[in-house]
Structure 1
Amino acid sequence: MDCAGVIGYGHMGRMLVKGFLSSGALSPGEVVVASRSRESRDACAAAWPEIDVAETNRELARRCRTIILAVRPQEIREVLREIVPVLDGDEHIVSLAAGVSLGDLEALYPGPVTRVIPTITSTVGQGTTLVCHGQRVGTDDARRVEEVFSSIGDVMPVREEDLAAATLLSSCGPGLLAAIIEELAGATARASGLPPDRALLLATEMVAGTAAYLRETGRVPGDLVGEVATGGGVTEVGVAVLRERLPGVFDGMVAAMLERCGAVGK
């Protein structure tokens, strides 16, 4: 992959730089980082002394063939207006911003643009990064971006019209699941003498084990329910309560989140 620039060194920028370099997908000489925060630039230089840290976004843009925008959605347009004047037009812009469409990006930059939605679980090399390429992205550019992001987990190309829904599962999902783990552990601790910290540990390990079981056996969740929830047993009672109450809860949650997706980045 040609020299890749990362504009923004917050949580997401740090995760990407660490993942790309630690996996060997990119060498230090192939990465340039820029951030408006002096503190962030110093932190990057301290963590990765062999990579280049640009003083300005424009300096990075002049040097990189692939430019990853790891800034907040509200900052995307400002950053593009800043760097586009120094671009040749064949640089590949990769935006991580939710709520900023390909059309929004292409209105500001006439070259190839791609939307990428990573997930926090990529910090540990797990999870799925969503990729949506604009019409001006060639086969080689698409392949290079997908290859480098595959170094931090799985990559799934999606249509832009499906991106919001897919983001709820891949990127928002870890936060939702963490809240469910917390609530399950808390309810168990409140109803018993089990210490809260042990309940949380058991719930966390249970979720990790369940995900591994489904992935490695190829079974679907309904299969697992059938294997665990024997007739008249404890699990069957719990599953029945969930089947009765959760559909409405989740339908409301997803509707609210999709509505919010439409407002992000505006």
Structure 2
Amino acid sequence: MKLGFIGTGALTSAIVTGLKSAADNSVPVVLSPRNEEIAAGLALRYPDVRVAPDNQAVLDSCDTIMLAVRPQIAHEVLAELRFRRDHHVVSLIATLSREEIATLIAPVEQVTKALPMPMIAHRQGATIICPPDRRMSAFFGRLGKVIEVEDPSEFDALSVVTATFASYFKYLDTIRGWLTEHGVADARAHDYIVTIFKALANAPETAPDTGFMDLAQHYATRGGLNEQILRELTARNVFDAFAESLDGVHRRIAAGAAPRIGPPS
């Protein structure tokens, strides 16, 4: 494999960093010159990573191409490029359907959608792939867990999970802020929250046959403090509002990923 990236942002940086930290990291990488600072930094750090003079040069020198451009400019960028039939193209653009990508990069025959997360830089987290793809499953399997799905609608639904990360950290920061307001040193508050929630994150893995609400009930003992907060947040419809936000993100992803009728605008 000779791996090329069209688009060199944070996700490209994470994939390359994770790849080059793996035991077998001999895959040569060619980067788009877009985002010169990130591309140059990766090329300086790793001897077998280089920056191409332009996007077409990436295609001409690689057999496997990952599309990592922002969806707002994807049509413009891809329309200018000449792909080969034998390119293996992996789209990391969540809101464009596989069918739409295939139309933009014709005559490519093998097109896969994948959604890795920034923590792939540390070879953690999971990458969803659609449709199942043996080569890409093996590639991303070296960088974390791989979940392959057949149904594009299932891929879209799983993609919604990635929209919850910022809210999770806001949740933790709310706890941190409350602690500091009550006299706890910021560093100590941060350290305690990180340690506790890291342990909590392991709970579903250590008890794989236990559902999330079973775990919630395990901690929400009758008359206890966990039960109080769970009951009060539920009464205030916090979780219903959260579910509505998930619905909104899903509509946005599904609308963006739906195949277009007629030529792209």
TM-score by length of structure 1 reads 0.84
| Gaps in structure 2 of 5+ consecutive residues | 258-264
Q: Percent identity at matched positions? A: 27
1:189 Cα offset (Å): 4.3
C-alpha distance after superposition, 1:56-111 (max 9, x if no partner): 2111111211101111112322332232x2x3312111111121111211212232
Q: 1:177 to 1:21 in 2, by over 3 A?
A: same
Which residue matches 1:97?
A: 93
> What is the deviation of 1:262?
4.6
Matched, 1:208 2:198: yes
Q: Which residue of 2 aligns with 1:67?
A: 65
Q: Deviations over 1:215-247 (max 9, x none)?
A: 123233233233322222222212212333333
Contact residue 115 and residue 131 of structure 1 kept, 8 A: yes
Shift of 1:196: 4.3
Aligned-pair distance for 1:122?
2.0
The CA distance in 2 between the partners of 1:25 and 1:207, in whole Å, is 32
* Gap change, CA 1:7 and 1:125, over 3 Å in 2: same
Preserved CA contact (<8 Å) 1:128 1:153:
yes
Q: Distance in 1 between matches of 2:217 and 2:35?
A: 53
8 A contact 1:72–1:97 mirrored in 2: yes
The answer to whether 1:236 aligns with 2:232 is: no
Q: TM-score, normalised by structure 2?
A: 0.85
Distance in 1 (alpha carbons) for counterparts of 2:101 and 2:7? 17
| Residue of structure 2 in register with 1:166 after alignment | 158
Q: Does 1:106 align with 2:83?
A: no
CA shift for structure 1 position 20: 1.2
Give, in whole Å, the separation in 2 of the partners of 1:121 and 1:176.
Answer: 17
CA–CA distance in structure 2, aligned partners of residues 53 and 247 of structure 1: 46
Aligned equivalent of 1:250: 242
Quote the Cα distance in structure 1 between the aligned partners of 2:126 and 2:64: 21
Gaps of 5+ in 1: 134-138
Separation of aligned partners in 1, 2:39 and 2:219: 51
Match runs of 1:9-158 below 5 Å: 9-28=8-27, 30-83=28-81, 85=82, 87-108=83-104, 109-110=106-107, 111-133=109-131, 142-158=133-149
Is 2:253 the counterpart of 1:261?
yes
